[in-house]
Amino acid sequence: MAQINYRTHLGMNDILPDETGKWQALEQLIHREAKKFNLEEIRTPIMEQTELIVRGVGQLTDIVSKEIFSFSRGDDNYVLRPECTAPVARAFTEHHLEQRGGTQKLYYIGPMFRAERPQKGRLRQFHQFGVEIMGSDDPVADVECIAFMMHIYEKVGITNTKLKINSIGDPESRDKYKEALVSYFEPVRNELSELSQKRLDKNPLRILDSKEEEDQPFIEQAPLIHDYLNEESAGHFNKVKEYLNQLGIDYETDPYLVRGLDYYTRTAFELISPDLGSQDALAGGGRYDLLVEEIGGPETPAVGFAAGIERLLIACDELDIELGEPKSVDVYIVTLGDSARTWGVQALPKLRAAGASATMDYMGRSMKAQMKDANRENALYTIIVGDHELEANSFTFRDMRKSEEEALSFEEILQKVK
């Protein structure tokens, strides 16, 4: 028995060959559907400057204060990106993407890193796909973003989801709301959870996000953001809801949805699945009209979302949705003897050039073992080759599913696989 000396870090998974098929199928679906929405892919490094993430995501968020993987090398500080909105905003600013003209409609797929306590659906290295629409404050952008998100789940076959939306207002509305929250919570400060007491000083809005039991009765009676939205923010939110209604996208307005990142303004949303257990958010996003300026770029209203790929795959498992095709190979060449092997090595590229996937035994196994291997590899056809077949240019071409055989020349086989 081999001894296992090395393992992956906690919360970081290998994606093994039996699983990569579904990842590839999902990624291809995302690329294909993104084209229909006129989105362009952007790829940013997995490491960023610490300062960008701290300023972008927010010093007091859990992500920055507790969950960052960081290290320094010489004078440089690195963090493994915990999310991709701040990195995309950085790339937008660094490369003056606004100069390309129009609205930048971007998407990405890739790994993110958060040092959270791992559990089902919560990892330290996880993967997101996401969209960032930069340079428009039109509610159409919000709705297109949500529509793309819903569209992907629908294409996958996950339809029993719940979309929650809220508006957390622009800074003017939110400052008024914060004041109202502080006056409401301050008199009951000592009855709140420790975490909420801290949040009361630093970011009272996040109290609404608390999962602590003792906070719930107070949260239920708390003032609602909607009573504090100014005309502009309320109008924007109404337009988003109107477009969603017109598209037939169901949603629930959730006044307590505040999201765990600091950059949001106005629209915020989350997509929830009943199939995920306690980590029930499939995806989340919202508007972040001030982030690009905050990190030094031009005034750029923007909206986006990100979706957890592992959580999407958990939901697929729960719903018995198979992504991708089962592993298979079109042709497996079964060889008997040295000349047949030499022939096989040369036949492989010809089969592939004809458009088939093709393989043969690499271990010098017996014919019986090769047939067994062809079955294990889920080969659709086998070509059985020995000295006799070579001489006659007539090979046994076996349809493995039908268990039928015919004698064909190699040219005829190539025609067939084409």
Which residues contact ligand HAM by CB under 6 A?
83-85, 114, 116, 121-123, 126, 128, 130, 132, 260-261, 281-286, 288, 304-308, 310-311
* Shortest reach from residue 261's CB to ligand HAM, in Å: 6
Q: Which residue has the tokens 């801290």?
A: 198
Token pair recorded at residue 130: 């996401």
Contact (CB, 8 A) for 129 and 15: no
Contact (CB, 8 A) for 80 and 49: no
- CB closer to ligand HAM, 310 vs 373: 310
Give the strand pairing for 379-385 and 329-335.
parallel
* Shortest reach from residue 114's CB to ligand HAM, in Å: 5
Helix (H, G, I), strand (E, B), or coil: what is residue 380? strand
d(CA 289, CA 301): 4
Q: Which residue has the tokens 């990106």?
A: 81
Contact (CB, 8 A) for 109 and 127: yes
* Shortest reach from residue 275's CB to ligand HAM, in Å: 13
Taking CB atoms, the residue at the shortest distance from ligand HAM is 308
Where are the strands (E) in 28-183, listed by range?
A: 40-41, 47-49, 70-73, 76-80, 104-113, 125-134, 162-167
- CB closer to ligand HAM, 122 vs 365: 122
Helix (H, G, I), strand (E, B), or coil: what is residue 74? coil
- Report the run of H or E that residue 330 belongs to, with start and end: strand 329-335
Contact (CB, 8 A) for 256 and 229: no
* Shortest reach from residue 250's CB to ligand HAM, in Å: 18
* Shortest reach from residue 276's CB to ligand HAM, in Å: 9
- CB closer to ligand HAM, 275 vs 412: 275
Contact (CB, 8 A) for 394 and 407: yes
- CB closer to ligand HAM, 204 vs 304: 304
d(CA 267, CA 139): 9
- CB closer to ligand HAM, 288 vs 395: 288
* Shortest reach from residue 390's CB to ligand HAM, in Å: 55
* Shortest reach from residue 254's CB to ligand HAM, in Å: 14
Helix (H, G, I), strand (E, B), or coil: what is residue 303? strand
**Alpha helices, DSSP H, located in 248-366:** 291-294, 309-318, 338-353
- CB closer to ligand HAM, 38 vs 72: 38
* Shortest reach from residue 119's CB to ligand HAM, in Å: 9
Q: How far apart are the first and last CA of the chain?
A: 45
- CB closer to ligand HAM, 152 vs 374: 152
Helix (H, G, I), strand (E, B), or coil: what is residue 388? helix
* Shortest reach from residue 185's CB to ligand HAM, in Å: 24
- CB closer to ligand HAM, 113 vs 395: 113
CA 351 → CA 119, 345, 347, 371, 400, distances in Å?
Answer: 46, 11, 6, 19, 17
- CB closer to ligand HAM, 127 vs 199: 127
* Shortest reach from residue 399's CB to ligand HAM, in Å: 44
- CB closer to ligand HAM, 57 vs 400: 57
Contact (CB, 8 A) for 119 and 220: no
